[in-house]
Structure 1
Amino acid sequence: MLNFVLRRLASAVPTLFIVVTISFFLMRFAPGGPFNLERPLPPATMENLMRAYHLDQPLWNQYLQYLKNAVTGDFGPSYIYKDNTIAELIGKGLPYSVELGTYALLFALIGGVLIGTLAALRQNSFLDFLVMSVATTGVTVPNFVVGPILTLIFGLMLSWVPTGSWGDGSFKFLILPVITLGLPQLAVFARLTRGSMIEGLHTDHIRTARAYGLPQRVVVVTHAMRGALLPVVSYLAPCAAALLTGSAVVESIFTIPGVGRYFVLGAINRDYTLVMGTVVLVAIFVIVFNLVVDILYGLLDPRVRHD
């Protein structure tokens, strides 16, 4: 297992290198620049800004310099948020995004597995059709529609919860953004669990367990659930990375000061360093969670072992 982890960590280096390289040149080749405003700056001012941020240098030199600084954790200054480095901005916003994403992930994972299992145990029943209908709706309806609807009903009409802002971070401030962020993922987990659970309940070893007279709870939880969770675990890595690094839509709707909105703001304003910092952050999260998923695979399925 240790050798496997070390190999995966070693493979993460070229993966990050490829992600950084592609993102760097895509941002530079996009039309416009960080200082191209609706009202053009005087030529002398533009020249001074380009020199101050080293944007007057050849592109290959900018690329090598960025790689050199990124290895030490220096992602440069932001072009939009003056007097702030990218590391400082991420350090401020990441705790909010991680806390919100953790709650949303737990809500989606636990809720999706539970209702997916119930639907599988009542296959082709009214409960099954209801769960799948709700899950399909949750997947197809985007969160920029769900968020305002929840805010309108529970925040404005009923006045049960605040309509936005982080507040003191208590449950009443987080419940609407958590539901909005986690609902589509809950629907996906429910569909994955239902499908794999139905398949698992019809396997030979489950029939054998039932023939031995084992209780239904033992058959489902101990035997069928382990195999049914494999597709869920596979989807867990990209889902966790997406939720924990913030959602620009949800954070904008509920005015949460996380890192998700930085990516969109950076792309709109051509803030090269800000976009690169968020891309590297997401890439690191994806790599780490993929490693965790591979380890969980070995624990859930005895046939999968890492030497």
Structure 2
Amino acid sequence: MLRFILSRLLSSAPTIFIVMTLSFFMIRLAPGGPFNLERPLAPEVLANLNAVYHLDQPVWKQYVFYLWNVLHGDFGPSFVYKDYTVSELIMQALPYSLVLGAWALVIAVFGGIALGVYAALRQNSWADYLLMGISALGNTVPNFVIGPVLTLIFAVSLAWLPTGSWGSGDFRHLVLPIVVLSLPQLAVFARLTRGSMIEALRADHVRTARAYGLPARSVVGVHALRAGLMPVISYLGPVAASVLTGSIIVEQMFSLPGVGRYFVLGALNRDYTLVMGTVVLISVFIVVLNLIVDIIYAFVDPRIRHD
């Protein structure tokens, strides 16, 4: 297992390198720059700023300079938040995104699996149609529609919950963002679980277990569910990375100081280093979480072994 983990980490390094390289040159191709303000700066001031941040160098030299710093753990200073480095901004924002994303992921995974199993056991019943209809609705309606609607109902009309911001860390401030962030993923997990569970319940080993007279709870919870969870686990890696590193729309909508919000502000302000820092962070999360998913495979399905 250790050999497999090391080989996967080594093979993932080129992927992160390619993502970082493409992102670096693509953001440089976008029109404008970090110091192109509505009120233009004096030419001397602009030249000095470009020299300080090495923007007066050819793009390939900027890339070599940036890559060398990243290899030494330095993501550079922020062009907009001048008193902070990118690493400091990410370390400040990441805990907020992790708390929000962890709650949303737990609700989406366990809620989606429970609803999917329930719908599969009652296939083609009114409960199945109702749950899958709601899941389809939750999967198609975007976050920027669900968020304002829930805010209008529970924050403005009923005044049960705050409209946004982190506040003092009170869980009441997180209820609406967590629900908005988890609903689309919960719908996806429910549909995946239902489809895979229907197939698993018709498998030969599940029929054999029923023929031996095993309790229904054992047949469903042990034999069928382990096979039915494989597509869910496959989807878990990339969605966990996107949720745990912050949803761009949700954090911006509810004014949460997370990584996703910094990504939006960095892109709008052409803060090259801040955007690159968030891209690298998300890439690393995807690689690590996909590795964890591959390890989970071996525990869920005994036929899979990583030597």
In structure 2, C-alpha distance between the alignment counterparts of 1:246 and 1:288, rounded to whole Å: 16
The residue that corresponds to 1:77 in the other structure is: 77
Residue 30 (structure 1) shift: 1.3
Could you tell me which runs of 5 or more consecutive residues in structure 2 were left unpaired when the two chains were aligned.
none
In structure 2, C-alpha distance between the alignment counterparts of 1:143 and 1:195, rounded to whole Å: 25
Moved more, 167-176 or 86-95: 167-176
2:208 partner amino acid: T
Moved more, 25-34 or 176-185: 25-34
Residue 169 (structure 1) shift: 2.0
The residue that corresponds to 1:164 in the other structure is: 164
In structure 1, C-alpha distance between the alignment counterparts of 2:255 and 2:37, rounded to whole Å: 26
Residue 177 (structure 1) shift: 0.5
The residue that corresponds to 1:276 in the other structure is: 276
The residue that corresponds to 2:291 in the other structure is: 291
1:189 partner amino acid: F
The residue that corresponds to 1:89 in the other structure is: 89
1:268 partner amino acid: L
In structure 2, C-alpha distance between the alignment counterparts of 1:303 and 1:281, rounded to whole Å: 33
- TM-score, scaled to structure 2: 0.98
The residue that corresponds to 2:253 in the other structure is: 253
Q: CA RMSD in A?
A: 0.8
1:92 partner amino acid: Q
1:140 partner amino acid: T
Equivalent pairs, count: 307
Deviations 1:49-99 (A, max 9, x none): 101111111211111111110012110011111211000100110000000
The residue that corresponds to 1:16 in the other structure is: 16
Secondary structure class of the residue paired with 1:164? coil
In structure 2, C-alpha distance between the alignment counterparts of 1:217 and 1:173, rounded to whole Å: 38
In structure 2, C-alpha distance between the alignment counterparts of 1:82 and 1:137, rounded to whole Å: 44
Question: Are residue 113 (structure 1) and residue 113 (structure 2) matched?
Answer: yes
2:115 partner amino acid: I
In structure 2, C-alpha distance between the alignment counterparts of 1:227 and 1:77, rounded to whole Å: 48
2:201 partner amino acid: L
- Structure 1 stretches of 4+ with a deviation exceeding 4 A read none
Matches within 5 A, 1:50-199: 50-199=50-199
Question: Are residue 237 (structure 1) and residue 250 (structure 2) matched?
Answer: no
Q: Percent identity?
A: 64
Residue 179 (structure 1) shift: 0.4
In structure 2, C-alpha distance between the alignment counterparts of 1:126 and 1:66, rounded to whole Å: 58
In structure 2, C-alpha distance between the alignment counterparts of 1:58 and 1:259, rounded to whole Å: 29
In structure 1, C-alpha distance between the alignment counterparts of 2:100 and 2:165, rounded to whole Å: 12
- TM-score, scaled to structure 1: 0.98
